[in-house]
Amino acid sequence: MEKVLIIDDDPDMVEAMKVVLESKNYEVHIAKSGEEGLREMRRDKPALIILDVMMETTDKGFDVAREIKWDPQYKDIPILMLTAIKERTGLDFGKEAGDENWLPVDDYCDKPLHPEDLIAKVDHLLKKHNP
Domain positions in the chain? 3-129
Amino acid letter, 129: H
pLDDT value of residue 103: 59
- At 105, the pLDDT band (50, 70, 90 cuts) reads confident
Residue-wise pLDDT for 62-94, tens only, equals 899 999 999 999 999 999 998 765 444 444 444
Q: What is the pTM of this model?
A: 0.87
CATH number of 3-129: 3.40.50.2300
Would you call 23 exposed, middle or buried from its count of C-beta atoms within 10 A (0-12, 13-18, 19+)? Answer: exposed
State the CB neighbour count (10 A cutoff) for residue 35. Answer: 16
- At 102, the pLDDT band (50, 70, 90 cuts) reads very low
Question: How many residues are listed for the chain in this entry?
Answer: 131
pLDDT value of residue 77: 96
- At 59, the pLDDT band (50, 70, 90 cuts) reads confident
Residue-wise pLDDT for 2-20, tens only, equals 999 999 999 999 999 999 9
Q: Vertex 66, ends 41 and 15: CA angle to 5°?
A: 45
